[in-house]
Amino acid sequence: MFILLHGRKRFATLRRVLIAISTILFLLCTIHVAASLRQLLEAFVYAPPDVPNYSTTYWLNFTLAPYIIKDALWDTLLLIQYCILIWRLYVVFLCDWRVVVFPIILAISSAACAYAITALSPTVGFYHSVAPKIIVGAWVLDLLLNVSITGGIALRLWWVGRKTATLTGHRTNQYAYSIYLIIESGAIFMATNILVFALYISNSPASLPMLDVGSQIAALTPLLIVVQVGLTGRYRILKTGPATTALMTQDGISFPVATEEQYSCQGVPASRTYDVA
């Protein structure tokens, strides 16, 4: 939040969007932690002394309000994560809406499955009836969405970096740093989802507490790029003729961004020079 609040004024619109997204993510995480605390209090502090094994059976009661709230928050965090990933893909491909049609379909389908599980869990639980089939379907859609978007962004940056290297004579891909950031944030979230799913299909009781960890990771991974870029340096965008060129001050990375007409889709005129924190 400090990085966003103290960024350059010339990208104020983009910073306001990121501040709003960050605030929503942190708010949802705080509500999730509060619901977890309520569960701990109900299971161990407010446990009725005349009910045997209450603290154990409490965690198997999926009709309780904290459970439903946490499941809905997990679904919402996933949906926000999808929106951020699709937005990144849209921007990297210079606002070409055709690129994001398939990811949007996957995101809507995955979110629908997730909310369906939340609606069904109070009555059928997570391990009975149609719930396992829906969970498997949601996980497959989620994995496909993350892999396709992360891979699409990385391949796009690699391709542009390769073209730039041919024109400038560089031997290394000038987009390597950005590719590492994209792959890193995507890999962290995908690894968490794979672990949760592995615990679920093995009928491990650890799958439910792991969702608590996954919810926090789902909120933090979209912000990794903002933090890393803000802490390691600035981006400088210069007008160099028919296309713009961005230079990252800490390691001299340069790459073409877009033409003036294409770049206007982000609300930034290409005929000016910017320093972006």
Task: Give the DSSP H or E segment for 195.
Answer: helix 176-201
What pLDDT, on the 0 to 100 scale, is given for residue 235? 40
Instruction: Select from 66, 81, 67 the least CA-distant residue to 24.
Output: 81
Say if residues 58 and 208 touch (Cβ distance below 8 Å): no
Task: Annotate 202-225 with DSSP letters as a single string.
Answer: TT-TTHHHHHHHHHHHHHHGGGHH
Instruction: Select from 269, 268, 239, 233 the least CA-distant residue to 253.
Output: 233
- 6 falls in which pLDDT band (50, 70, 90)? low
The yes-or-no verdict on residue 261 having pLDDT over 90 is no
Which class for 179: exposed (0-12), middle (13-18), buried (19 or more C-beta within 10 A)?
A: middle
Instruction: Select from 218, 184, 225 the least CA-distant residue to 26.
Output: 218
Question: What pLDDT, in 10s, does the model give residues 49-108?
Answer: 888 888 888 988 888 999 999 999 999 988 998 898 898 889 888 889 999 999 999 999
Q: Please tell me which residue, 232 or 248, carries the higher pLDDT value.
A: 232
Question: What pLDDT, in 10s, does the model give residues 168-222?
Answer: 777 777 778 778 888 888 888 888 888 988 888 888 877 878 888 888 888 888 7
User: Averaged over 107-125, what is the pLDDT?
Assistant: 89
Task: Give the DSSP H or E segment for 236.
Answer: strand 235-239
What is the rounded distance in angstroms from the CA atom of residue 10 to the CA atom of residue 19?
A: 15
The yes-or-no verdict on residue 123 having pLDDT over 50 is yes
Instruction: Select from 270, 128, 140, 241 the least CA-distant residue to 197.
Output: 140
